[in-house]
Amino acid sequence: MTDVRINPSILAADFANFERELGRIQTADAAHVDIMDNHFVPNLTFGQPMVARLQEVSPIPLDLHLMINNPDHWAPQFAEMGVFSVTFHLEAATAPATLARSVRERGARAGVALRPGTPFNQIEELLEHFDQLLIMTVEPGFGGQKFMPETMPKLRQAREWARKHESEIWLQVDGGVSQDTIGMAAEAGADTFVAGSAVFRGDPADQIAQLRTLAGQHAH
């Protein structure tokens, strides 16, 4: 059976108490950090100084999701901070395979993200260069949105590709992941799950355990 990874999104955490909030999710596999520049998406979140500080205090690895323009310039700089993983958007990158190599050379895992409207065939030829594929299950930009089941066929295509190529790529979903939707995403082939409000609105350790169990019941 596939390993199940739960990466809570700190977009749903208390921004004034990040160190405490990271401590509350230390049973998770990683903390998902959404970097938004108010250009690629209509929201502004964290920059490099904030990520550097989070990296110092977090008890779990940081899984960065760059929703920004010009990731070719910025992704390697974030990778140099010692984070676990850097995911950038295919739609924003000019040389995705080169950028993936650059991120890996700096010691981070390289991930590529697709917006809901971007078809799988746009990344298929390049996927061998990546450690993770993030299939957005909402339009990127804001937390708390409703899960889009219409993205599941794309996830199935990715899982089929991984099987065919005997790839160990991680398949991540982000957006509207909750106890109601995680089973659907796991059944379609996801193994790495970003959940925000579903984790932070209750007791995080309990929510993480429940999400992990539900995903495991549907995993391949």
206 flagged as catalytic: no
**What pLDDT shows up at residue 144?**
78
Mean pLDDT, rounded, for 185-209: 96
174 flagged as catalytic: yes
Q: Provide the residue ranges of all domains of the chain, joining segments of one domain with +.
A: 5-218
Q: In the CATH scheme, what architecture does the domain 5-218 have?
A: Alpha-Beta Barrel (3.20)
* 93-129 pLDDT, tens digit each: 999 999 999 999 999 999 999 999 999 999 999 999 9
Q: How many CA atoms lie within 13 A of 12 on its CB side?
A: 25
User: What does residue 212 show for φ and ψ, rounded to 5 degrees?
Assistant: -60, -45
Determine the Cα–Cα distance for residues 162 and 158; give it in Å rounded to an integer.
Answer: 6
**What pLDDT shows up at residue 207?**
97
**What pLDDT shows up at residue 2?**
60
Percent of the chain with pLDDT over 70: 99
Mean pLDDT, rounded, for 171-194: 97
Q: Residues 34, 37, 131, 191: which is the catalytic one?
A: 34
* 154-167 pLDDT, tens digit each: 999 999 999 999 99
**What pLDDT shows up at residue 141?**
81
Report which of 117, 189, 187, 192 is spatially closest to residue 150, judged by C-alpha positions.
117
pLDDT at residue 220 is higher than 80: no
Cα-Cα-Cα-Cα torsion 14, 19, 21, 24, nearest 10 degrees, comes to -170
Per-residue pLDDT band for 1 (boundaries 50, 70, 90) equals very low
Tabulate helix, strand, coil % of the chain (nearest 5): 40, 20, 40
Give the Cβ contact number of residue 17 at 10 Å: 11
Q: Residues 29, 63, 174, 191: which is the catalytic one?
A: 174
Prediction pTM value: 0.97
Name residue 110's beta-bridge partners: 86
> Which residues fall within 8 angstroms of residue 182, CB to CB, at 6 or more apart?
193, 195, 211, 214, 215, 218
| Cβ 195 vs Cβ 6: under 8 Å | yes
* 7-40 pLDDT, tens digit each: 999 999 999 999 999 999 999 999 999 999 999 9
The tokens for 116 are 């809901």
User: What does residue 50 show for φ and ψ, rounded to 5 degrees?
Assistant: -65, -45
Q: What totals of helices (H) and strands (E) does the chain contain, helices first?
A: 8, 8
Determine the Cα–Cα distance for residues 173 and 151; give it in Å rounded to an integer.
Answer: 10
Q: Calculate the average pLDDT of the chain.
A: 96
